[in-house]
Amino acid sequence: MKLKSLSLILLVAVAFTACKPKDSFVIDGKFENPGTEKKVFLYGMQNSNMVAIDSTNLSEKGEFKFIRKTPSVDFFRVSAGNHEFMLIAKNGDQIKLEADLADKALAYKISGANEVEKLSELNTIRNDFAKQAEKLQGEFESKVASQPQNRAAILEQMKPQYESYINQLNDKILKFAKDNKGTLASFYAMNTLSPQEFEAELVQFSDEIKEEIKGNATVDTFVKQMALLKAVQVGQPAPAFTINTAEGKPVSLSDYKGKYVLVDFWASWCQPCRQENPNVVKVYNKYKTKNFDILGISLDTDKAAWLGAVKADGLTWTHTSELKDFNGETVRKYQVQAIPTSYLIDPNGKIAAKNLRGDQLDAFLAKTLR
């Protein structure tokens, strides 16, 4: 009897294992407090974009299930109304997703596969930051409520603490990506960082993973983009270009050889650009007689708006534009993904610095132009 019982247990165990689909993955989900939400959607990656690939109804208990196939490990997203939950899955995974749709922070629990458990670790890091930021926001609103006339001063006073939280979060994300290199979770983590602030780190990360995470369309696209960015990193020769002024006069980067030149990509409609312009004017007036110049490249498509902003902001250096938004040849050559973006080119035509703002640009030039 004992032998038969043991055999029966083993047979059941084998049968249970055999029932797990190896050619597809399963997402078993449960939502607490779904409210009026009845439908759940599953999104998958296609051409680097998330598109709906399946849907189902929530049960009375808030439960749902998806069974899908994927060519390789990839990103997926479960959505219910305005609630979105990122997942990573491959065939054979048995993933469990739990969330409370009444939770404003959109925190969720995922388990059942290595990649999703790594993603869960990352979510914990980000959720801890969200709690700190929410607490700080509450303190700010409380202080402003009692001293509305001092709002700007209170904001300035609390800003360093918020920036400290941001820096801590970024450090933890970088460490997470380093510790989990070779996983899609590490790739996802790196792509939560500011692409302008962490461009060099993203380029380096791309070099490190291009062989480790091969065949995923999203990663392959990222690697190609970073390869293009690598060509415009600090220390690289600045790509040559010729671009026209508003009067049709051609201006080439080579015209500035022997000088430090700030190639400034901006637009009249870009508020951060317009806010930075007074700092650029100040630096230009301070160093224009010390082997320093500026070349403005506008992403405007409206010529009148572009020239109107040049005049209104008192920008007295040379200005050019292809009037093609982000689609201009020079803009693409310098991999401009957002503005303001600037490149400081040295007298030998190499990129000396990128995206220096305000006091940073002043300090760099003060040290360099002696």
> What's residue 196's pLDDT?
79
pTM for this model (two decimals): 0.73
Per residue in 221-250, pLDDT tens?
899 889 888 889 999 999 999 999 999 999
Taking alpha carbons only, the member of 104, 26, 43 closest to residue 79 is 43
> What's residue 215's pLDDT?
76
Q: Is the model's pLDDT at 8 over the cut of 70?
A: no
Would you tell me the crossing angle of helices 217-230 and 199-209 to the nearest 10 degrees?
A: 120
CB 219 within 8 A of CB 187: yes
Can you spell out the DSSP letters for 270-317? -HHHHHHHHHHHHHHHHHTTTTEEEEEEE--S-HHHHHHHHHHTT--S
> What's residue 48's pLDDT?
77
Q: Which residue has the higher pLDDT, 181 or 256?
A: 256
Q: How confident is the model over 33-41, as a mean pLDDT? A: 93
